[in-house]
Chains A and B, each alone.
Chain A
Amino acid sequence: MKTATKKATWLVVGFYFLLFAVWQVLASLRLAPDYLFPSPIQVIHRLIELAQDHLLWPSIKTTLLRMVLGFLLAAAIGLVIGIAMGTNWVINRTLKSLFLGLQMLPTAAWVPLSLLIFGLRDTGFYFVVVMSSTSAIAIATADGILNIPPIYLRAARTLGTPRWAMYGRVIVPGSLPNVVSGLKLGWTLGWHGAVSAELIKSSIGLGFLLYMGRELNDASQVIGIMLLTIVFGLFLDRFMFGLIEARIRRRWGLTAEEDLSA
């Protein structure tokens, strides 16, 4: 088990090393001019320049802060609506189609409306993040509750659980695996929304640096910021949900991620 995990880690490290090596080789072949197709070394160089200009770290910090606050808000709203949907079929029937419909919208589609309502105020970012991720969280929570095997509810009732305690003792823990996947999806969608919003209406943030890179015709900066957006989104996903997910998998005996590829 332990050696398998170690092996998988080396596999992943090797894969990225190879990816960057291929990129470097392709770039040095000069098939396209380097202002269109920069090498990884140029990208890293540009990121260091941005950091030295005191643009990089404040931008990362701003985006993360907006995102975390917006996501906490979205999670709170999404969980409350999701629990209401999961326990009341009228609410579920009516809201589910609405939320599924809202999920059809690309997250960036909320930005124009946010501009109209909130102008350039920071509230607009939270609006975009909340609208991007709330429906995914609510739907996953509702499905999680509706998919709790009825036998758990029956067992809890025969074991003397009062109705008010059902939420804390059965419904929340029983739906947790689904809820956590919903939160993860919500985080991803919210992250899309936050960066999209910054692309259009900000003077700081990762999205703004992307926009600025395009204005400057600087492909190194555009690619560099794209990479950072991926890295930080993924890092926070692991940081926030990794531990709790591993715990649930161990307790419930769900398939480990590695097993899927094995």
Chain B
Amino acid sequence: MTSDTPQSNGNGMAEVTLVVDGVSKTFETNMQKTVAALAPVSMQINKGEFVVFVGPSGCGKSTMLNLIAGFTQPTTGKILLDGKEVTKPGRDRLMMFQEHGLFPWLNVIDNVCYGLKRKLLHPRARREKARSYLRLMHLEEYEKANIHELSGGMKQRVALARALAPDPRLLLIDEPFSALDTVVRLELYAELQRIHQETHKTIIFVTHEMQEAACLGDRVMMFSGSPGAVVHELKIDLPRPRNFTDPQVQAHAQDLISRLQENRS
């Protein structure tokens, strides 16, 4: 089954940032075996949109994210960011990982500085910019701290500050909260929505949790099957900031769950 291209994106004025055009991915495992991870998928993502890729593990959602990040190359099709083809990783499409991926040999502020262009910015200007993103995440007191001294939630907030600092066109987030406890997660849902509203960043967020998807996304794209494809798309027009436990969020989550069950049977 091939995917359906999104026909209507709500407001027709929206500026398209990312175009995925018939992208599929086949992996070579051993000598001769090949595994199709992703059937041809097409989609468009608008500037400032918060899109969530959701689906069971092995559905191709992370494969799609890695392709957009440029870590792997599509077998067929192409990916365009602002009309330019994606061929390798770069700071215009910054990725945030499930494990924070902060460098333990740098302290907090040096981690945030890391992605800022060295040639263009004076070291003091880089630090000032990094500091402003730490302030955005309420972490300014911890700029000199070592990474191992932070809690799990703080590490992910530093990782978010590090990903935001180079001002990427697209923020790619791969199940970043799955290792955190519930209270910290709820805090971070609110934080992420606030950041989205303040910075108007285009965000692609990958998760396997329907409630998380319903709480965060402007648009949820459900991946399923093997090879993976987009089987369902849901626009969520709830006001922000949304509460994770809000009945309307729950209702959308329930809708997503039943859709997924339909697609699996």
Contacts and interface: CB of A to CB of B under 8 A. Distances in A.
B91 A250 contact: no
Given A251-B146, A253-B146, A253-B148, A160 B90 contact: yes
Interface string B84-127: 00001111011101010111111100000011010000000000
A158 B71 CA distance: 8
Interface in A136-168: 151-152, 154-160
A174 interface: yes
A160 B166 contact: yes
Task: Bin the interface of chain B by size.
Answer: 20 to 34
Contact of B71 (A152, A154, A170, A174): A154
A159 B99 contact: no
Contacts of B146: 250-253
B105 A159 contact: no
B149 A253 contact: yes
B101 A251 contact: no
B105 A154 contact: no
A173 interface: yes
B166 A155 contact: no
Contact of A159 (B104, B107, B114): B114
Contact of B104 (A156, A160, A169, A252): A252
A43 interface: no
Contacts of B115: 159-160
Given A155-B97, A159-B162, A173 B103 contact: yes
A176 interface: yes
Given A152-B103, A157-B71, A248-B105, 13 more contacts: A155-B103, A157-B88, A158-B94, A159-B94, A159-B115, A160-B89, A170-B103, A173-B106, A174-B105, A251-B146, A252-B146, A252-B148, A253-B146
Interface of B: 69, 71, 88-91, 93-95, 97, 99, 101-107, 114-115, 117, 146-149, 162, 166, 172
27 contacts: A151-B99, A152-B103, A154-B95, A154-B97, A155-B95, A155-B97, A156-B114, A157-B71, A158-B89, A158-B91, A158-B93, A158-B94, A158-B95, A159-B94, A159-B114, A159-B115, A160-B89, A160-B90, A160-B91, A160-B115, A160-B166, A173-B106, A174-B103, A252-B146, A252-B148, A253-B146, A253-B147
Contacts of B101: 151-152, 154-155
Interface SS majority for chain B? loop
Interface SS majority for chain A? helix
A248 B104 CA distance: 9
Interface residues of A, number: 19
A160 B99 CA distance: 19
A170 B111 CA distance: 12
Contacts of B95: 154-155, 158
Nearest to A254: B148
A154 B174 CA distance: 13
Contacts of A160: 89-91, 115, 117, 166
A159 B91 contact: yes
Contacts of A174: 103, 105
5 nearest interchain CB pairs?
A: A253-B148, A160-B91, A159-B115, A155-B101, A173-B105
A211 to B, nearest CB: 45
A151 B66 CA distance: 13
A173 to B, nearest CB: 4
Interface string A75-118: 00000000000000000000000000000000000000000000
Interface in A203-262: 248, 250-253
A169 B110 CA distance: 12
A151 B98 CA distance: 10
